[in-house]
A = this chain, B = another copy of it.
Amino acid sequence: MINEKMRALGAKRSVIRELFEYGKKRKAEIGEENVYDFSLGNPSVPAPKEVNEALIKMLSEGDSVALHGYTSAQGDAAVRAAIADYINKTQGESVNADCLYMSVGAAAALTCSLTAVVNEGEEVIVPAPYFPEYKVFIERCGGVIREVACDEDFQLDISAIEAAICEKTAAIIINSPNNPTGAVLCEENIKALAALLKKSEEKYSRTIYLIADEPYRELVYDGAFVPYLTKYYDDTLVCYSYSKSLSLPGERIGYVLVCPRCKDFLETYQAICGAGRALGFVCAPSLLQKLIPYCLGKTAEVEIYDRNRRLLLEKLTEYGYEMVRPEGAFYMFIKSPSGDATEFAERAKKHEILIVPSDDFGCKGYARLSYCVKTEQIERALPAFKALIESYKD
């Protein structure tokens, strides 16, 4: 009698969760320090001090009724204005408060955006590998996921995307810096995508939305440049979250930005508000919304992630592992020495290393390593990584 699709979604743990639970059990058995858990993308660096300072200040000095009261459904107007200013200053954009819809994190930003722009049976293109929840979100609103493999450097394969676009294409989801690969899409690649999308909009006389999932925007290394997509393509929705940049993943605060030059700007913005309403969001958490103006431009200590990344890159490459050099987020995507993702992840387990096989990310032959962990864990894990790859030479 219950909705069987929903039951299945609730009953089946994701591979990542499954591995995390295995890790918990294993840690209880052999000691936490002997399990090298690289399974979860949960920030390991504390929030910048401004976060708790501002929250305490508001709670001590603010009017309780105003502080904890409903904001308007699209979010507090002053908060949206402050974010718009910040985007304009840092990206040379010209957005305003009315382009922004405050959301309950990036997942909500995505479900509101997809619910707003996808109609029953329409397709959403997703370059693979990709965050597995995209499929859940797309299918829940009646859409069909259309996976398109990236090239071997995890840049978009523009001809493959062109071949996938059809009269039913409602949107494409781009995630850069990328989970699970750590790749950053270069400007040339973005320009080619924008040109293709414009051409395709004309060809099929329809809007094709570019949905940018950007929780990792600030987590970049080696001075990598992350193009701001509204500047390349007008029909863009930016889904942002403060989860990773401010190390607040549990607090659920983010936004959707509708590009002010979007063809059907008002209708699109209204549809996002309508979706938020229908999905039951009411408003993003009030206290967290009001925190944001205090923290614009602040980030958790990204240097710690970079130190982890450099250490792993140096050592794993030295041991003989292969991977595309990650430029952002806190993931690296390691090639399976056997070519088989599950075999690799299972063999890693025998060395007490927990990494996620790539199949669920829509891609074969890799495993994802999350390096948002204590540096000491990496140092302790190095001999195990060495032993793991050497086991393939036997």
Contact = CB atoms under 8 A, between A and B. Distances in A.
Interface string A1-14: 11101111111000
Contact of A133 (B44, B47, B250, B277): B277
A280 to B, nearest CB: 3
Interface stretch (A60-68, A180-188, A323-331): A60-68
A267 B137 contact: no
A190 interface: no
A280 B3 contact: no
Given A2-B116, A8-B274, A279 B68 contact: no
B42 A64 contact: no
B274 A1 contact: no
Interface string A46-82: 1100011001100110011101111100000000000
Contact of A3 (B47, B107, B119): B119
A47 B60 contact: no
A94 interface: no
Contacts of A10: 116, 269-277
A336 interface: no
A264 B2 contact: yes
Contacts of A337: none
Which among A1, A105, A252, A269 has the greatest number of chain B C-beta atoms within 10 A?
A: A1
Interface of chain A, main secondary structure = helix
A264 B10 CA distance: 14
B65 A3 contact: no
Contacts of A251: 68, 285-287
A195 interface: no
A287 B285 CA distance: 11
A282 interface: yes
A68 B253 CA distance: 11
A69 B55 contact: no
A111 interface: yes
Nearest to A111: B280
A283 to B, nearest CB: 6
Given A47-B68, A112-B280, A277-B133, A104 B252 contact: yes
B105 A65 contact: no
A53 B124 CA distance: 46
Contacts of A65: 43-46, 247
A108 interface: yes
A210 to B, nearest CB: 13
Contact of A107 (B110, B282, B285): B282
- Give the most central of A68, A276, A287: most B CB within 10 Å: A68
A179 interface: no
Nearest to A139: B278
Contact of A56 (B56, B107, B277): B56
A365 interface: no
A267 B250 CA distance: 26
24 contacts: A1-B206, A2-B116, A3-B115, A6-B116, A7-B270, A9-B275, A10-B271, A10-B275, A10-B276, A11-B270, A42-B69, A44-B65, A69-B250, A107-B281, A108-B280, A111-B280, A112-B280, A133-B277, A140-B279, A250-B286, A252-B281, A252-B284, A279-B279, A285-B285
